[in-house]
Amino acid sequence: MNLEQQCQGIEILLTDVDGVLTDGGVILNNEGVESKQFHIRDGLGFKLWRQAGFKCGLITGRNSQVVRLRAQELNMDIVRQGIQDKATVAQEVLKRFDLKPEQLAYVGDDLIDLGAIRLAGLGIAVADAVEEVKDAADYVTKTPGGKGAIREVIEVILKAKKVWNDIIHTY
């Protein structure tokens, strides 16, 4: 099955955070307050994704107030933090929404994402992911994590589904 065919059935996009929505860096100040930098185009990408009628969510290995705030801002359907077994959580999400693995796109960058990438109908690695993740992925972005990789993924899927032009027509 080619990429365009894989994209046809996708109904939900789940993604890791650190290394995908960010460049993987974590900044802690002297008081232990964490900050992260997110790419604004990814945010609009999620808005376009939801505008097209699809669900999205975050599954991350770390717990972070910053992630909770960003997820709220992006109106995520799913936010799961502190997760080491992402494939099991992805299966729970699929069950919750009565979806099959082939309807899932999952984006990751590191070994902790391998199970979810292998489960997904469309497993995706960001350009600067570790080699094992790239090898397991159906698609590797041209864009590195934290630099708009999610926007690239969303555009690829929405274009393959032939809804991109309808969505951007509103701008």
Quote the pLDDT of residue 33: 86
Quote the pLDDT of residue 118: 98
- pLDDT of 23 higher than 90: yes
The answer to whether 51 and 160 have CB atoms below 8 angstroms apart is no
Average pLDDT, the chain: 96
- pLDDT of 1 higher than 80: no
Q: Mean pLDDT across the stretch 17-30? A: 93
- The span from the CA of 22 to the CA of 46, in Å, is 15
Quote the pLDDT of residue 90: 98
pLDDT tens digit string along 74-123? 999 999 999 999 999 999 999 999 999 999 999 999 999 999 999 999 99
Quote the pLDDT of residue 73: 95
Say if residue 18 carries a ligand binding annotation. yes
- pLDDT of 28 higher than 90: no
| 154-161 contact pairs (CB < 8 A, 24+) | 154/13, 154/45, 154/46, 154/48, 154/49, 155/45, 156/3, 156/7, 157/7, 157/10, 157/13, 157/105, 157/122, 158/48, 158/49, 158/52, 160/3, 160/4, 160/7, 160/8, 161/7, 161/8, 161/10, 161/52
Residue 18 — φ and ψ, nearest 5°? -65, 120
Quote the pLDDT of residue 91: 98
Say if residue 16 carries a ligand binding annotation. yes
Say if residue 128 carries a ligand binding annotation. no
The confidence band for 34, taking pLDDT boundaries of 50, 70 and 90, is confident
Q: Mean pLDDT across the stretch 32-50? A: 94
Instruction: Domain ranges for the chain, please list them.
Output: 3-165
Q: What is the CATH number of domain 3-165?
A: 3.40.50.1000
Query: What is the pTM (predicted TM-score) of this model?
Result: 0.96
